[in-house]
Structure 1
Amino acid sequence: MATHLTRRGSIYYLRRRIPLHLTEQYNGKREITRSLGTKSRPEAERLARAISVELDREWQAASEAAAMTAEGKGKPKIDPRYYDLAGAYELAELEEQHAAEVDELHADADRLEKLLAIVERRREQASAGNASKAATISAEARKPRSGAKGNSVSLESVIELWRRDRQPTAKTVDAVTRAVREAGDPDIHAVSRQVVIAMRDKWIEAGNSVATVNKKIGFIRLLLGIAKSRGMIDSNPAEGAELPPPKRAVELRKPYDPEQAEAVMAATAAMQATDPAMYWLPRLARWTGARLNELHQLRVEDVQERDGHPGLLLTNEGEHADGVAMALKNDGSRRWVPLAGPVLGFAMWAKGRTGPLFPAKANKYGNVSDSFSKRYGKLLRNVVKITDKRVTFHSWRHGFADMCRHAGVSAEVRMALMGHAEGGGAAAAYGAGDGLPPAMLIDGIKRINGDSA
């Protein structure tokens, strides 16, 4: 079945041929091409189906209107060759689509071959100790568990089910895949509590931090949970297998203290003309609580007024630049955030510009803020002399949350401003931009700024 998908760079597009008898109504155009704004093929297929339905309806209505017009003038004779031509036209479309899909499969196969070669080389280079540990895990994983169901199902094969159901980012998929391969990609029916503990021990012995080990165990738990929910296994042996954090561990990130915040402002004060990103992004993060990439990908059209107050639309719709999709942490992060007094000048600065406000080359995951994040880290450590590694760009977000609490901003408004899902779980998402009236969000920002009555 034709999906009408094509890809430019990493972004999927819908391409449909306009029916021959309707091309005159489209000023002679033969095709319609629309960006789907996503790099995920499952998501692109879903969007393409929806748009195709709308196009079919549009073309059906146009055909009926043309037929009614023709009836009033007497039915025209249709040359039988028209049907031959139309049939050939549709066949060409299907063949072209099939060729594009085959090309894409070949490209994916080439990438997979290279990846497997790299994995094989790294396995060969592994130390004897790690190789021995991996062999122990693999041997343990091959032992059948009581109550194992059906045929062999590798843990890595569950990743595709997860991708289809949840549409995670490419970066997250890569991280999960690495963890599964490091664990020896066992059969899900053979994973016992002992196997999970062996994975955990291996990662600790390899020098991973507790936080990293817990993240990897979390990935294993996630995939086994999906397998359990589908009836493929009876229980999830990775539940509760994470290590407790060290007693001396504190927040991985902490807010800037007042002196540190002012030091950053002073260090970047003269950069508005020479390095706009370094000037504006820390200030916007301080007064909006937005994530770095949410701000770095801003376009002129994302600076919008609501109820007469300027603000920022943080969205994952459309493209930051040609072939670079807009991205958010999740759909619940889509929101409009009013600008506070200290950064109202940003709206005026942005007004005279076009396209991306802070243009940058995206990394392989489509993240446009990667390079800036490294530059900002050097500014903190080398110029401002903040050596505490818990203080990063993300610390502005922690500080914004504290400002909201100290100003008496309600939890509902705070979560909407910051694009949080309630409780951090599967509850209703706040901050979609339409959930709370702009007046409530504006009042919350004014409270932080000390302007509210």
Structure 2
Amino acid sequence: MRSLGTSDRREAERLARIVGVELDREFERLRANHAPKSDGLPDAQPSALATPVVNAISDSGSEPRLLCSGVQRHLSRQEGFRNGLQEVPTTEGSTGTAGAWAARQAQNGQPKAAGALKGKTSFDVLIDKWALGVQPEQNTISRTRMHARRFEEMAGIHTVEEVTRQHAIRFIEQLQQAGQTPQNINMHLASLIKLLNYAVRLDLIKTNEASGLAVKAPSGEKARRSFDLLALKSIFSSPVYTAGHRPKGGGGDASYWIPLLALFTGARLEELCQLHPHDVMQVPYHDEGSENSAWVIRITDDGEGQGLKNAGSRRRVPLHPELERLGFVEYVQQAKAEGRKRIFHKLVPSIDGKESGNFSKWFGRYLRDVCKVADKRMVFHSFRHLFKEVLREAEIPKEINDALTGHESGDVGDKYGGDAYPIRPLVNAIKRYRIPGLILPASWRFSEELVAH
């Protein structure tokens, strides 16, 4: 029996995903080790092992300890199966349980992919080596693994050594046929290219066959742009703000607060979704000889399950007076009183563990279908672009702009910014942040009353 080490439902979900991936990798390794004796195990088996973990999460109800127990029972069965494979004899001529099982599958017409791994490197193994050497955030590892598996499926290969430029081109074509945007295709390519670069570094392959490949946006299509006043009015006069709607896909109250927080902090979506109640705090500061204090949001990776894009992303952002007026401090205090692990506890993480994954999909639909913002260059990240632009228009120095947004410019001074940056200039900058012509919604409490009635 493996303990997940937590009684928190959300953390159990995250850990179960990670453990499920680990068991998939272990099964792949064992399958490869026994390939000479068994002609390989079918590709479908690892995902069949991981499926019960997801089912345990969705079927265990709302009680965290019951959920953990349910997940642990499934993991225990998986580990028992894995241990059974480890005990299969490997002497010459012996097939053992795994060999007999594989032989039956072969008779049933199942594929024999594992034989292709003999003497070569699977993408899972390469990713493990890359993750150990580079030590990126867990979300980055999960996303890279997902992109690599999609490449294997679409290109029809199983090992790093097999990759040719034609495989990479086929991957692009398959993604295009699946309706992926140029931006998403390039994200997939970036994952593939960095893995193959690492394979070259390890001398597993001689050249990176995907190097230099990218998809250009169609003529006339431009990069993301900031929300204009019309789009902002459409968002903040929508049913979430005027009729008290709290869509399940938007994580309940998260659908109200997260766009407002993005508007007034410029924070990235994942940074907002992963906030803990204790990340909102009052800090003292001196202003012209007098003692003052300010409410700030701490963007950090110190908490359980939190991550950052880079070290420069760690920072403190003062709360805008409008966020205080709307009741955000009161909302956070309620979250603390309820003992929530996260401020937005109703958000459901995506399959790769990202707190923002499902919210991002919901917001994209809500923006187009409900708010009627048709410009596809306007997305959630447009809040961040807008925040930077408004600060520039207010003639806020670049150094302070970067400190508020967690942007590393490469200057030596950046090393002394982040969460150690003085609060007073940040507070003064936030006070100067305003968007003329934008009428903000009713307070959170008023919206709560609309929901109640």
Which TM bucket (shorter chain)?
0.5 to 0.7
Aligned length: 324
Distance 1:194 1:379 in 2: 39
Residue of 263, 270, 288 corresponding to 2:234:
263
Tell me the residue number matched to 2:271.
294
CA distance 1:312–1:352, shift in 2 (3 Å): same
Letter in 2 for 1:417: L
| Structure 1 residue 221, shift from structure 2 partner | 1.0
Give the 3-state SS of the residue equivalent to 2:317 in structure 1: strand
Tell me how far apart the structure 2 counterparts of residues 217 and 393 of structure 1 sit (CA, whole Å): 23
TM-score normalized with structure 2 length: 0.59
> What residue is the counterpart of 2:132 in the other structure?
164
3-state DSSP class of the match of 1:433? helix
1:7 matched to 2:4? The reply is yes
Contact kept? 2:275, 2:344, Cα under 8 Å:
yes
SS at structure 2 position matched to 1:344: helix
Amino acid across the alignment from 2:263? R
Structure-2 separation of matches of 1:334 and 1:379:
30
Tell me: CA distance 1:387–1:213, structure 2 relative to 1, closer, same or farther (3 Å): closer
* Identity, % of aligned positions: 29
Q: Say which of 68, 76, 79 aligns to 1:106.
A: 79
**Contact 2:276/2:303 (8 A) holds in 1:** no
Matches within 5 A, 1:272-421: 276-306=253-283, 307=285, 308-319=293-304, 325-345=305-325, 346-354=328-336, 355=340, 356-363=342-349, 364-421=351-408
Partner Cα distance (1:383, 1:190) in 2: 47
CA distance in 1, matches of 2:243, 2:406: 29
**What SS does structure 2 have at the residue aligned with 1:305?**
strand
For the residue of structure 1 that corresponds to 2:432, the secondary structure is: helix
User: What 5-or-longer segments of structure 2 have no aligned partner?
Assistant: 9-13, 23-71, 84-97, 110-115, 247-251, 286-292, 436-453
Checking the alignment, whether the CA contact within 8 Å between 2:234 and 2:373 is kept in structure 1 is no
Q: Which moved more, 1:369-378 or 1:257-266?
A: 369-378
The SS at the match of 2:4 is: strand
Residue type at the aligned position of 1:401: K
Task: Say whether the 8 Å CA contact 1:360–1:369 is kept in structure 2.
Answer: no
- Could you say what secondary structure the match of 2:145 adopts? helix
Alpha-carbon distance change, 201 to 389 in structure 1, aligned in 2, over 3 angstroms: closer
Q: What per-residue deviation string (whole Å, max 9, x for no partner) do you get for residues 200-249 of structure 1?
A: 44544665543343333322211111112223333323221223333322
Gaps of 5+ in 1: 12-35, 45-98, 125-140, 143-149, 320-324
Cα separation, partners in 2 of 1:107 and 1:205, compared to 1, 3 Å: farther
Is the alpha carbon distance of 1:40 and 1:440 closer, same or farther for their aligned partners in structure 2, counting shifts above 3 Å? farther
TM-score by length of 1: 0.59
Tell me how far apart the structure 1 counterparts of residues 257 and 177 of structure 2 sit (CA, whole Å).
43
Are the equivalent residues in 2 in contact too, given 1:154–1:185 (CA < 8 A)? no
**Shift in Å at residue 285 of structure 1?**
0.9
Contact 1:200–1:213, Cα closer than 8 Å, also in 2:
yes
Evaluate the alpha carbon distance shift between residue 294 and residue 189 of structure 1 in structure 2; reply closer, same or farther with a 3 A threshold.
closer
* Mapped partners of 1:398, 1:300: distance in 2: 26
Partner of 1:235: 207
**Aligned counterpart in structure 1 of residue 426 of structure 2, from 417, 438, 441:** 441
In 1, distance between residues paired with 2:264 and 2:203? 47
Q: What is the rounded CA distance, in whole Å, between the counterparts of 1:221 and 1:266 in structure 2?
A: 43
Equivalent residues in 2 for 1:147-186, closer than 5 Å: 152-165=120-133, 166-167=135-136, 168-169=138-139, 170-185=142-157
1:83-102 equivalences in 2 (<5 Å): none
**What amino acid is aligned across from residue 297 of structure 1 in structure 2?**
Q
Is 1:289–1:397's contact at 8 Å kept on the other side of the alignment?
Answer: yes
**In the aligned structure 1, how far is the partner of 2:167 from the partner of 2:359?**
41
SS state at 1:337 partner: strand
| Counterpart in the other structure of 2:288 | none
Amino acid in structure 2 at the alignment position of 1:263: S
Is 1:316–1:328's contact at 8 Å kept on the other side of the alignment? Answer: yes
Matches within 5 A, 1:32-51: none
Which of the pair has more CA radius of gyration?
1
Deviates more, 1:295-304 or 1:364-373: 364-373
Distance 2:378 2:361 in 1: 14
Cα pair 1:334 1:432 within 8 Å, conserved: yes
| Residue deviations 1:167-224 (CA, integer Å, cap 9, x gap) | 4422442233222342233544443445534544454466554334333332221111
Aligned CA RMSD, in angstroms, stands at 4.4
